Chain A
Amino acid sequence: MILKTKQLSKSFGGLKAINKVDFELPKNEIRGIIGPNGSGKSTFFNLVSGIYDSDPGSYIEFDGHDITFTPPHEIASYGLSRTFQLLRLYQDMTVIDNVMSGYHTRVPYKFFDAVIGRKKIWDQERAIKEEMMELLSFVGLADYAELNASELSGGQRRLLVLARAIAMKPKLLMLDEPAAGLSPVNVDNLMKIIMQLKEKYGLTLIIIEHILKVVMDTCNSVTVFDHGQKIAEGTPAQVKDDNAVIEAYLGKKMDDEEMRKALAV
């Protein structure tokens, strides 16, 4: 198990955004998370990556570390990387700087060496830059490396955010709606790149996605959230036919008798 949560809860005032979720994820799996808007998917991500503190009684374990109350930068240093729904691109930095800042946890030299500006620093910086340029050309952004990130198109931004999250060579990559707002062709392209990256780096993936085709085609297993609770889990085929899931998305299934009663009142 690379990620495990027990009784994970988070409430904002009276609203229980996440309510006692037990979640387990084995290594090398691609897990999809689906659910209606406001069902707590993004909150779940924020709790796991440490951006929100979870309520007392929760327990999160990542790769053998108890990360329940660990600050986000330490969680990242254990090898958990994530993207954001609203991208959070570093707009005023160049594309290559964006990706290189994702490398931060792996930077080998110490601060003091950087102040003195020793030769080995510049060698290492060049090595990092070369590696990141390779990554950029892998996602197809090498030509834009020196432009500002704000000058990229929507699809390119999605790719850049993905590259930035990969740069730290994570063990677990959590993607928050990676394909939102992309055209069908671009979605296919993006999913292809994600699958290639998974093979290349041996990633475990969690993907939040509203495009069900993506989830059904690529994920090994799917977890469904509704009102902060986990309502179903299983293979895509199992989840598709689950009554609780259909209810959450489409409403309750009624037989004729019930329908008549409901309409009469």
Chain B
Amino acid sequence: MEKFKILIRNYPFIAFIIAFCILALVPSVIFTDVYQSHLATLIFVNIVVAAGLNIVKGFCGQVTVGHVGLFAVGSYTAGTLFLYLGLGFWVTLPIAIIVTAFFGVAMGIPSFRLEGPYLALATLGGGEAIRLFIENGNFFRSTFGISDIPTPSLMGYNFDSPDRYYFISMTIMIIAVYFSFSILRSGVGRAFMSIREDPICAAAAGINVKKYKILAFILSAMFAGAAGAVYAHMPPGYIHPNNYTVIEMVTFLAMVVLGGLGHIWGGIIGAIVITIVYDLTRPLYKYQLLIFGLTIVLTILFMPKGLGGFIDRYFLEKRFKKKTGTEKTT
């Protein structure tokens, strides 16, 4: 067991390969119908978006409310590339990631001068502008949406049903989470956190604040772009501007806040919990927004570091007690 731990510590990707194998077995062992695979794909897409949002909001502390706009950019890049050029998933995915990264730069530039609620307003404007642009442009099929976006196929095997597409979304999710982990656990993650805590002191400690702010925006945009492309190609392959409203943004925010702002697992825990709860409470759709708003407020009030921080705290107090023999109460 000790040896295994050291192996994982040196080569973290082994843990991700194991996670991949376990998740690959899930559909055949646990799932009873196709809908569950569809739900799992949605969870994976949300995990990718929430992991990206956690980088910029949780770690770098830049309050962005336009992230759903970047998600839309990813989806519509994939959609329009298919619509006009007939390109498939394997081409549209990298292009969507790159295009979204550029939009991320545009979204991040206001953060040089704005902070907190003002930045939130600016990015909210950015996100809504993207949606309205799509909704009113004939180029993007406006409110008809883009339909029949094909599922990807690999070496003659077509991932054309939800239980097959599960593997595509899962792979992308594992890769995205791996990248987010290795970025956030390295010095880059620390630089993000120090910018969140105190930009002036971070600058005095040698951190290029502007560079790292824009880097956080680019990274999170790339995550959103990848998620958007996966979402667009998801069977039945239909995207519509109404999938990218402020309501979706609030859902993404609720995921990150509930999972733990600035906690490395934050976006992942939140995305799993919120997506499942969202699905189970569909009959109560009238009250869903109310519940999510309440979730955000209550989490910030009583669990400011979310579920992830809550669990961490429990183990930390145990370790501290073991080490020093005293109770640490705050």
Task: Tell me the A residues contacting B by CB distance below 8 Å.
Answer: 49-51, 71-73, 76-77, 81-82, 84, 88-93, 97, 100-105, 107, 109, 111, 114-117, 119, 121-123, 125, 143, 146-147, 151, 164-165, 168
Contacts and interface: CB of A to CB of B under 8 A. Distances in A.
Interface in B7-53: 9-13
Interface of B: 9-13, 178-179, 181-183, 185-188, 190-191, 193-194, 196-198, 200-209, 215, 262, 316, 319-320, 323-324, 328, 330
Nearest to A87: B201
Given A76-B204, A125-B186, A168-B205, A93 B193 contact: yes
B179 A102 contact: no
A103 B208 CA distance: 14
A101 B202 contact: yes
Nearest to A92: B197
A111 B186 CA distance: 9
Contacts of A93: 193-194, 197
A13 B194 CA distance: 31
A109 to B, nearest CB: 8
B12 A117 contact: yes
Contact of A88 (B182, B185, B187, B200): B200
A90 B204 contact: no
Nearest to B12: A117
A90 B183 contact: no
A76 B201 CA distance: 11
Contact of B205 (A71, A104, A115): A104
A115 B204 CA distance: 25
A119 B186 CA distance: 12
B187 A114 contact: yes
Given A81-B205, A101-B205, 19 more contacts: A71-B208, A73-B208, A81-B204, A84-B201, A90-B194, A90-B201, A91-B197, A92-B193, A92-B262, A101-B190, A102-B205, A104-B187, A111-B188, A116-B182, A117-B179, A119-B11, A121-B182, A125-B187, A168-B206
Contacts of B330: 151
Contact of B193 (A51, A84, A97, A146): A97
9 contacts: A49-B204, A72-B203, A76-B205, A82-B204, A93-B194, A109-B186, A111-B188, A121-B182, A143-B323
Which of A73, A101, A109 has the most chain B CB within a 10 Å cutoff?
Answer: A101
Which of A50, A107, A109, A168 has the most chain B CB within a 10 Å cutoff?
Answer: A107
A104 B194 CA distance: 10
Which of B12, B205, B208, B330 has the most chain A CB within a 10 Å cutoff?
Answer: B205
Given A90-B197, A93-B194, A143-B324, A107 B12 contact: no
Contacts of A102: 205
B299 to A, nearest CB: 16
Nearest to B219: A115
A101 B193 contact: yes
Contacts of B206: 73, 76-77, 104-105, 168
Contacts of A109: 186-187
B203 A90 contact: no
B182 A101 contact: no
Contacts of A73: 203, 206-209
A115 B193 contact: no
Contact of A147 (B182, B187, B191, B328): B328
A82 B11 CA distance: 37
B318 to A, nearest CB: 11
B10 A122 contact: yes
Contact of A72 (B183, B198, B204): B204
Given A115-B183, A125-B186, A101 B328 contact: no
Contact of A51 (B9, B10, B204, B328): B204
B201 to A, nearest CB: 4
A25 B179 CA distance: 46
Given A91-B197, A104-B207, A146 B319 contact: yes
A101 B186 contact: no
Which of B181, B194, B208 has the most chain A CB within a 10 Å cutoff?
Answer: B194
Given A90-B193, A114-B188, A143-B323, A122 B12 contact: yes
A114 B183 contact: yes
Contacts of B187: 100, 103-104, 107, 109, 114, 125
A151 B329 CA distance: 9
A249 B197 CA distance: 37
A168 B185 CA distance: 19
Given A73-B209, A117-B181, A147-B320, A51 B203 contact: yes
A151 B328 CA distance: 9
Contacts of A151: 328, 330
Contacts of A81: 204-205
